[in-house]
């Protein structure tokens, strides 16, 4: 599944957008990669009062920071609050 923060826009620009979903909100991460991307993901989680979290791509693959920095993921990302009680 992919999320589009602007569903009314058409053309290739919309298809090149990258988003991260957190707390039922979409955040634009288009153009970010490497450390800048991981820093932005941490900032989004922090702004949503999430201290521990997992990140999944559109194939529901759980990603670590190394994979994200290297760009080894498919589609958009999702930040999911880490459930300490279940661990």
pLDDT tens digit string along 49-82? 999 999 999 999 999 999 999 999 999 999 999 8
Q: What is the pTM of this model?
A: 0.77
- The domains found in the chain, sorted by start residue, are 12-86 (3.10.20.90)
Residue in the structure block whose two tokens are 């058409």: 10
How does pLDDT run across 16-59, given as a tens digit for each residue?
A: 899 999 999 999 999 999 999 999 999 999 999 999 999 999 99
Catalogue the long-range contacts made by 11-20 (C-beta closer than 8 Å, 24 or more residues apart): 18/76, 18/77, 19/76, 19/77, 20/44, 20/55, 20/76, 20/77, 20/78, 20/79
Q: Is the dihedral of CA 11, 13, 19, 25 positive or negative?
A: negative
Q: Say if residue 12's pLDDT is above 60.
A: no
């Amino acid at each position: 599944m992919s999320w589009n923060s602007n569903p009314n826009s058409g053309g290739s620009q919309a298809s090149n957008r990258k988003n991260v979903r957190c707390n039922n909100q979409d955040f634009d991460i288009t153009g970010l990669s490497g450390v800048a991307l991981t820093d932005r993901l941490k900032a989004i989680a922090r702004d949503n009062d999430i201290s521990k979290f997992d990140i999944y791509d559109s194939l529901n693959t759980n990603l670590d920071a190394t994979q994200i920095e290297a760009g080894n993921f498919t589609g958009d990302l999702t930040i999911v609050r880490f459930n300490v009680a279940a661990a």
